[in-house]
């Protein structure tokens, strides 16, 4: 009989955000498939989870985990932060598992996108999530398409490109409300709100605010 695949959300910064059910599941499964086993160690040590880990990153073939499931092992899938499959490895594995008749059980937990959205003050009834933006090809088109977007747009941006991204938003959507969720759930958590040029001005005055992890939200047209 096949094992079950548990998809477990883990904290996006604050280790206290791990759910009780998530901890119990990590303890009860036979194996934990982690995006980075060394990174996972911090979380597992904090909650005294002794379950063995295997690595499952974006280049790992799903077969590796599918064969464990086929041997009847219960497997927990975790990523470095947040919910697996959301701009993180896991989507392929999950669809292959479903095709093989394996039961996939979600154990909900944090995700940066919902964490940012719920406190952004922007409408939450209609929103679109784009993950990471294309770095080169398709980037301009993305911003052009955003001009007519009638719902809240959400995407992830790295610290290396956050300033560039705001300059692009200032060029294509100068009037729109932007919300930047920075370092969510961590010590320096903050929300920067305003037009792109207002936030760029804040960056000029406080360059340290360009550092960290960011979720970017763009208000609707």
Distance separating alpha carbons of residues 38 and 70, to the nearest angstrom: 26
Residues 34-63 that bind ligand SAM (CB under 6 A): none
- Least separation, in Å, of the C-beta of 83 and ligand SAM? 4
Q: Are 40 and 73 in contact (CB under 8 A)?
A: no
Query: Between 3 and 88, whose beta carbon lies closer to ligand SAM?
Result: 88
Three-point CA angle 114, 85, 185, nearest 5° = 35
**158 near ligand SAM, judged by CB under 6 A:** yes
Q: Are 170 and 200 in contact (CB under 8 A)?
A: yes
**183 near ligand SAM, judged by CB under 6 A:** yes
Q: Are 154 and 215 in contact (CB under 8 A)?
A: yes
Q: By beta-carbon distance, which residue lies closest to ligand SAM? A: 82
Query: Between 131 and 174, whose beta carbon lies closer to ligand SAM?
Result: 131
**13 near ligand SAM, judged by CB under 6 A:** yes
Residues 92-151 that bind ligand SAM (CB under 6 A): 111-113
Tell me how far CA of residue 59 lies from CA of 67, 79, 123, in angstroms. 17, 14, 36
Enumerate binding residues for ligand SAM (CB under 6 A): 12-13, 79, 81-83, 86-88, 111-113, 156-158, 181, 183-186, 213-215
């Amino acid at each position: 009989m096949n094992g079950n695949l548990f998809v477990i959300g883990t904290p996006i910064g604050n280790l206290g955000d791990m759910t009780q059910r998530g901890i119990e599941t990590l303890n009860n499964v036979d194996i934990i498939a982690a995006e980075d086993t060394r990174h996972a160690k911090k979380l597992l040590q904090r909650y005294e989870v002794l379950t063995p880990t295997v690595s499952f990153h974006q280049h790992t073939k799903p077969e590796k985990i599918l064969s464990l499931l086929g041997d009847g092992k219960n497997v927990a899938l975790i990523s470095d932060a947040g919910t697996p499959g959301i701009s993180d490895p896991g989507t392929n594995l999950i669809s292959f598992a479903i095709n093989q008749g394996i039961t996939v059980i979600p154990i909900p937990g944090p995700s940066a996108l919902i964490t940012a959205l719920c406190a952004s003050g922007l409408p939450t009834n209609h929103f679109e999530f784009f993950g990471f933006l294309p770095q080169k090809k398709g980037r301009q088109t993305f911003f052009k398409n955003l001009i007519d977007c009638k719902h809240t747009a959400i995407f992830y941006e790295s610290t290396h490109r956050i300033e560039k991204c705001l300059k692009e938003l200032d060029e294509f959507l100068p009037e729109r409300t932007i919300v930047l969720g920075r370092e969510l759930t961590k010590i320096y958590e903050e929300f920067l709100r305003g037009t792109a040029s207002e936030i760029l001005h804040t960056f000029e005055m406080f360059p340290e605010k360009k550092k960290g992890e960011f979720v970017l939200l763009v208000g609707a047209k």
